[in-house]
Amino acid sequence: MTDTNKGSVVLVTGGSGFVAGHCILQLLEKGYKVRATLRSLSKKDSVQNMLRTGGINSFENIEFIETDLTADKNWAEAVQGCEYVLHVASPIFLRLPKHEDEMIRPAVDGTIRVLKAARDAGVKRVVITSSFAAVGYSHTDPNTLITEKEWTDHNDKTLSAYLKSKTMAEKAAWDFMAKERGNLELTVINPMAIFGPSLCPELSSGFELLKKMLDGSMKATPKIDLGIVDVRDLANLHLRAMTDPKAKGERFLALSGGVMSLHQIAMLFKEKLGDRAKNVSTKVLPDWLVRIAALFNSQAKAIVPQLGRVRNASNQKAKTMLGWSPRTNEEAVLATAESLFRHNNISSS
């Protein structure tokens, strides 16, 4: 990975988030200057605490600016003087929307807002954190590998509002680039389930799943397979995509390789964590029982569309084009578990 632009200013959106925190950490370690957007400057201390956890004790190369993806305020100031933008932020929803457009419009409009501001400020390249949700959720053939050429069909009636929002936001970004990009370059990263070490006690969405396994509240595991990427490798891929000339105009699937079932994760915990995994259940929940539970339970209902879905995806493009070398699924999952214990999300007694 080339670092010819050390000292350049990089804007990282959603600076208090799980992925953004690791991106900021690696940027600072490599000598970049970082400007991080926050929905509220009250989160500045928590970001600095995250960086301290990661080994950064000097904050002279990071500054913060208050922005919101749903409003124009401060975006021109945020991108001013930046060489690159890592658009990691996603709109936050504290409740399920009554209508899917409540989730879709902020995701789409926020993405375009960032791209326009970056273009107008003369930013060289924007790297957008999209999702596997935009790639492989309309894939029906379990015998073929999913690649970056695939797209999820946002007109699919079975898709959740979240899956539609990620797909439509990325499509909007590429449409913008086709028509209004100016001199701006775009690269997109499409991660699968993101695990790995957390820099703070607040849990990302994926951590909740493993927390339920470790604390025993998940009495049996449904038959679900996950493609996984370690957050450290995901941040590294963002940095590679930011500077490598070959990444211009490309999208990259981010995953360690292969899938891992929830049952395999449970067995891994039993093998590697000793007494700390005493509450982990190795029972497997039959599909029919999940479907019955879905009639009465919203969490079970959300699981049903994933039953029997095998989403084998390829990480070859990132590895061959950008020289990316990710950790294993097992390393990412175990690092997540260690974070849950370290931050006292689960008692280790």
C-alpha to C-alpha distance for 272 and 275, rounded to whole angstroms: 9
Strands 259-261 and 225-230: antiparallel
pLDDT at 260 exceeding the cut of 60: yes
Average pLDDT of the residues in 210-222: 90
Percentage, residues of the chain above pLDDT 70: 90
Band of residue 160 on the pLDDT scale cut at 50, 70, 90 = confident
Q: How far apart are the two ends of the chain, measured CA to CA in Å? A: 43
Decide if 297 is inside a domain: no
Average pLDDT of the residues in 170-181: 97
Decide if 192 is inside a domain: yes
* Domain count of the fold of the chain: 1
Give the side-chain half-sphere CA count within 13 A for 270.
12
Residue whose structure tokens are 């804007």: 11
Domain holding 191, by residue range, is: 9-202+228-256+311-326
Say which CATH number the domain at 132 has: 3.40.50.720
Question: 99-132, pLDDT tens digit by residue?
Answer: 788 788 889 999 999 999 999 999 999 999 999 9
Ranked by mean pLDDT, the top range of 87-101, 194-208, 278-292, 322-336 is 322-336
- What global pTM score does this model have? 0.93
State which amino acid sits at residue 320: T
Decide if 345 is inside a domain: no
C-alpha to C-alpha distance for 246 and 187, rounded to whole angstroms: 10
pLDDT at 318 exceeding the cut of 70: yes
Q: Which carries the bigger pLDDT value, residue 267 or residue 157?
A: 267
C-alpha to C-alpha distance for 294 and 284, rounded to whole angstroms: 17
Decide if 4 is inside a domain: no
182 backbone dihedrals φ, ψ, rounded to 5°:
65, -125
> Which tokens go with 238?
């963002």
Band of residue 7 on the pLDDT scale cut at 50, 70, 90 = confident
DSSP state of 193: E
Decide if 207 is inside a domain: no
Collapsed DSSP state (helix, strand, coil) of residue 125:
strand
* Full DSSP string of 269-327: HHHHSGGGGTT----EE-HHHHHHHTTT-HHHHHHGGGTT----B--HHHHHHH---PP
Decide if 99 is inside a domain: yes
Average pLDDT of the residues in 22-41: 97
Average pLDDT of the residues in 175-188: 97
Decide if 102 is inside a domain: yes
Average pLDDT of the residues in 321-348: 91
Decide if 223 is inside a domain: no
pLDDT at 298 exceeding the cut of 80: no
